[in-house]
Structure 1
Amino acid sequence: MSELTEQTRDVAKRWFAALTGGDFPAALQLLADDVEWINYRVVPGYNDDMKWIGTVHGPEAVAGTVQVFAGQCDVISEELLDLVVEGEKAAGVIHEISRVKETGVDFEIIFTHWLTVRDGRIVRWESHTDPSQIIRAIRGDAPQGGGS
């Protein structure tokens, strides 16, 4: 394994440990001052009920989006399922269960964080998932067919 891959793996492990441990201040310290944070892409009329999504730059803006999420949802559990690292890139697969505060409806998702790490800091973060479960919970729709 290359030295670069080892450095990226170290940052990614610290990122996911802080995230799944609920220590977002520690996670924020791993972000570069000019981090590009892409939390889904907004599709008006479809996923814009998720008020925390979109692209922002810098740790303060990231913290703002996380505060919006925390104002709308409570994380029940978050677990790292897989981590793949090569060079300056890392991909972590997360299993999350959260509850929308306003509706009381839970959602369960699997999502991927794509990280780019340079000089020991995350310079780019991008999240991918199927947001339909989140949207269903925000809108207060009960799950169908006994699934979550």
Structure 2
Amino acid sequence: MSDTTRSVAQGWFTSLTSGDIDTALTYLSPDVEFINYTPVPGYNDDMKWIGTFHGRDAALAGFKIFVETCEVRQEEVVHLAVDGDEAFGVIHEISVVRETGQEFEIEFIQRLTIRDGLIVRWKSYTDPSPIIRAIRGENGAP
């Protein structure tokens, strides 16, 4: 099972970090559950792409909002861990919010659950503070 999990996760992350969204989507189950952080009103709800999405089309719609809002400049997997049907990828990303021109740099974790060669659950974790600052046009200087 771990070999299949690793293979699917590697294919997913390679596609995603190279910007090949069409290939990345082939790794998602048609009924995938995508949990892209939890919206907290007044805190991180500036990030219009976050929330829980059910199904490949809904996940793609949420991802599309992110791509319309932010330009990814650099993205790479810095660590991949696999345990049974779960894979955890640590990703380093540098992006720019299109509206403000503000850059942000984050590390985030994607936790994938893989069954029958497809991702059935995809959950993302990060500290959203740098993203929120960039969305609001705050440069972070003291």
TM-score class normalised by the smaller sequence: over 0.9
Please say if 1:18 is aligned against 2:12.
no
Whole-angstrom distance in 2 between the partners of 1:65 and 1:47: 15
- 1:61 is the counterpart of 2:44: no
Give the aligned partner of residue 126 of structure 1: 123
Structure 2 counterpart of 1:31: 28
Q: What residue in structure 2 maps to residue 107 of structure 1?
A: 104
Residue type of the partner of 2:140? P
Structure-1 residue corresponding to 2:69: 72
The yes-or-no answer on 1:144 pairing with 2:141 is: yes
| % identical equivalent positions | 56
Aligned equivalents of 2:140, 2:5: Cα separation in 1: 38
Q: Could you report, residue by residue, the CA deviation over 1:49-86 in whole angstroms, capped at 9, with x for unpaired residues?
A: 00000000111001101111111100000000000001
State the alpha-carbon separation in 2 of the partners of residues 24 and 40 from structure 1: 20
Aligned letter for 1:107? F
Residues in 2 aligned to 1:144 and 1:18: alpha-carbon distance in whole angstroms:
35
What is residue 93 of structure 2 aligned with on the other side? Answer: 96
Q: What secondary structure sits across from 2:91 in the alignment? A: strand
- Equivalent positions of 1:82-93 (< 5 A) are 82-93=79-90
| DSSP 3-state at the match of 1:104 | coil
Q: Which amino acid aligns with 2:117?
A: G
Equivalent residue of 1:55, what SS? strand
Q: What SS does the corresponding residue of 1:113 show, helix, strand or coil?
A: strand
**TM superposition shift of 1:37:** 0.1
Q: Which runs of 5+ in 2 are unaligned?
A: none
Q: CA deviation at 1:25?
A: 1.1
**Letter paired with 2:29:** A
Structure 1 residue ranges without an equivalent (≥5): none
